[in-house]
Amino acid sequence: LAESTDSAADSARPITTVGVVGLGTMGAGIAEVFARHGFSVIGVERDDAAAERGHGHLTHSTDRAVARQKLSEEDAAALIGRIRVSTDLADLAEAGLVVEAIGESLQLKKTLFAALDDIVSPDAVLATNTSSLSVTEISTATSHPGRVVGMHFFNPAPVQKFVEVVRTVVTEPRVLEDVTTLVEQLGKSPVVCGDRAGFIANTLLFGYLNHAASMYETRYANREDIDAAMRFGCGYPMGPLALLDLIGLDTAYEILETMYRQGRDRLHAPTPLLKQMVSAGLLGRKTGRGFYTYEGPDSPVVV
Ligand code: 3HC
């Protein structure tokens, strides 16, 4: 990805400072993408420990890019220098756009959006990276629902070149325009879609991932063969069980549950094994064990 410091200036309605709330896997990736493209980023976490973890995600990712000679040390330092990590939401007052990337809890998101609504300027855009909750419902927590939009990035956010921009029935056209322009400035393709659990990609993807987990659960095939079939037989970059480990089994379970509740499509009824693995703390790469076992978040599979 090329460093570009001037793209922030080309926005239809210039947005130069972007807030990101939640610096977990997705939030840190999103913060990195904006900083790489010249935006000033304010990342907010709930406490010092979480802020430190978030900062760790960011430096880990840029160190890795430097080690792979994709980024010079100076550019990496400049990129990190464009990101300020804070534990105070009030620091987002100057942001033209805030992207929320906290856990998939409707109540938490609504509380956060109500708070953001009081902090940011009246023309700032509020975006949620939710993968399955209702953007419309989240927007009702604000006094200006017309400025609320979904911005659904894909994991790993610095790599995947696609963002679903979710409009509610009241999202203002200028907000959609600003956000799609911004996504293009990040070197990604935006697609605008309506507010339905799962949007386009997850609706299609998660039925398949759930089916793969169920195939493993019923011992029809082992994990390596299930993954190999889709990688080598169908040309997918990863097999479904390895992908579930990357996404996180807790996130995958929540997405399936929400889609199933909303659409009642049995393809999305989470296979029981997923729930059991989540309860047992086998969440995938982030806890070191899911369908496979990992040495670290980027490590090759060990067992
Ligand atoms: N952060 C930053 N960069 C990363 C990265 C990360 N976490 N993981 C990989 N990369 C970069 C590498 O540095 C490398 O960059 P380079 O080509 O410039 O050197 C490039 O991505 C390829 O990485 P690797 O060579 O290590 O490995 P692969 O070629 O196997 O690619 C992958 C890894 C990008 C994860 C690829 O396997 C892939 O695209 N898998 C599918 C991922 C997918 O389906 N994501 C969508 C999940 S659904 C979702 O996110 C929706 C949500 O709501 C759940």
Cα torsion angle, 65, 23, 136, 127, sign: negative
101 and 215 inside one domain: no
Length of the chain, please? 303
Single pTM value for the model: 0.92
273 and 141 inside one domain: no
Average pLDDT over residues 50-57: 96
Higher pLDDT, 33 or 5: 33
119 and 187 inside one domain: yes
Q: Which of 145, 177, 194 is the last residue of a domain?
A: 194
List all residues 6 or more positions away from 279 whose beta carbon is below 8 Å from its beta carbon.
none
CB of 62 closer than 6 angstroms to any ligand 1 atom: no
CB of 203 closer than 6 angstroms to any ligand 1 atom: no
Q: What is the pLDDT of residue 9?
A: 40
Q: How far is the CA of 237 from the centre of ligand 1 (A)?
A: 9
Higher pLDDT, 35 or 25: 35
The whole-chain average pLDDT of the chain stands at: 93
Tell me what percent of the residues of the chain surpass a pLDDT of 70. 93
- CA dist 139 and 114 (Å) reads 9
* Per-residue tokens: 5: 């410091």
Q: What is the pLDDT of residue 298?
A: 63
Q: What is the pLDDT of residue 295?
A: 85
pLDDT band at 13 (very low <50, low <70, confident <90, very high): low
In tens, the pLDDT along 257-280 reads: 999 999 999 999 999 999 999 999
Kindly tell me if the per-residue pLDDT of 6 is higher than 50. no
Higher pLDDT, 14 or 143: 143
73 and 176 inside one domain: yes
226 contacts 215 by C-beta, under 8 angstroms? yes
Q: Is residue 112 part of a domain?
A: yes
Q: Which of 137, 167, 194 is the last residue of a domain?
A: 194
214 and 165 inside one domain: no
Q: Is residue 140 part of a domain?
A: yes
91 and 151 inside one domain: yes
Kindly tell me if the per-residue pLDDT of 79 is higher than 60. yes
CB of 154 closer than 6 angstroms to any ligand 1 atom: yes
Closest residue by Cα to atom 18, ligand 1, is: 70
Q: How far is the CA of 234 from the centre of ligand 1 (A)?
A: 18
CB atoms within 10 A of CB 187: 14
Kindly tell me if the per-residue pLDDT of 3 is higher than 90. no
Kindly tell me if the per-residue pLDDT of 173 is higher than 90. yes
Kindly tell me if the per-residue pLDDT of 297 is higher than 70. no
Check which CATH number belongs to the domain holding 129 and give it.
3.40.50.720
In tens, the pLDDT along 112-134 reads: 999 999 999 999 999 999 998 99
Kindly tell me if the per-residue pLDDT of 213 is higher than 70. yes
116 and 35 inside one domain: yes
As for the ipTM of the complex, it is: 0.94
- Say how many domains are in the chain: 2
222 and 119 inside one domain: no
Residues of the domain holding 235: 202-287
* Per-residue tokens: 33: 């993408």
How many CA atoms are closer than 13 Å to the CA of 5, on its beta-carbon side? 6
Kindly tell me if the per-residue pLDDT of 172 is higher than 60. yes
Average pLDDT over residues 186-200: 97
Residue 164: active-site member: yes
Q: Is residue 48 part of a domain?
A: yes
User: Lowest-confidence range among 141-150, 236-245, 286-295?
Assistant: 286-295
Closest residue by Cα to atom 19, ligand 1, is: 68
73 and 144 inside one domain: yes
3-state secondary structure the chain: CCCCCCHHHHCCCCCCEEEEECCCHHHHHHHHHHHHCCCEEEEECCCHHHHHHHHHHHHHHHHHHHHCCCCCHHHHHHHHHCEEEECCHHHHHHCCEEEECCCCCHHHHHHHHHHHHHHCCCCCEEEECCCCCCHHHHHCCCCCHHHEEEEECCCCCCCCCEEEEEECCCCCHHHHHHHHHHHHHCCCEEEEEECCCCCCHHHHHHHHHHHHHHHHHCCCCCHHHHHHHHHHHCCCCCCHHHHHHHHCHHHHHHHHHHHHHHHCCHHHCCCHHHHHHHHCCCCEHHHCECCCEECCCCCCECC
Q: What is the pLDDT of residue 11?
A: 46
**From 37, 55, 57, 152, active-site residue:** 152
Q: How far is the CA of 158 from the centre of ligand 1 (A)?
A: 8
Q: Is residue 295 part of a domain?
A: no
Residue 202: active-site member: yes
Q: Is residue 186 part of a domain?
A: yes
- From 151, 159, 254, mutation site for ligand 1 pocket: most ligand atoms within 8 A of C-beta: 159
Q: How far is the CA of 187 from the centre of ligand 1 (A)?
A: 16
Q: What is the pLDDT of residue 274?
A: 98
Q: Is residue 2 part of a domain?
A: no
* Per-residue tokens: 143: 């006094």
Q: How far is the CA of 156 from the centre of ligand 1 (A)?
A: 5
Q: Which of 172, 194, 216 is the last residue of a domain?
A: 194
Q: How far is the CA of 139 from the centre of ligand 1 (A)?
A: 31
Kindly tell me if the per-residue pLDDT of 4 is higher than 90. no
Q: What is the pLDDT of residue 303?
A: 65
15 and 136 inside one domain: yes
Q: Using CB atoms within 10 A of its CB, is residue 291 exposed (0-12), middle (13-18) or buried (19+)?
A: buried
Q: Is residue 300 part of a domain?
A: no
**From 104, 164, 254, 257, active-site residue:** 164
Average pLDDT over residues 231-248: 97
Q: Is residue 233 part of a domain?
A: yes
Residue 257: active-site member: no
- CA dist 214 and 145 (Å) reads 39
Check which CATH number belongs to the domain holding 206 and give it.
1.10.1040.10
List all residues 6 or more positions away from 67 whose beta carbon is below 8 Å from its beta carbon.
none
CB atoms within 10 A of CB 79: 23
pLDDT band at 2 (very low <50, low <70, confident <90, very high): very low
Q: What is the pLDDT of residue 123?
A: 93
Which residue in 71, 54, 55, 51 sits closest to 63, CA to CA? 71
Residue 37: active-site member: no
- CA dist 289 and 296 (Å) reads 10
109 and 230 inside one domain: no
183 and 225 inside one domain: no
CB of 61 closer than 6 angstroms to any ligand 1 atom: yes
CB of 270 closer than 6 angstroms to any ligand 1 atom: no
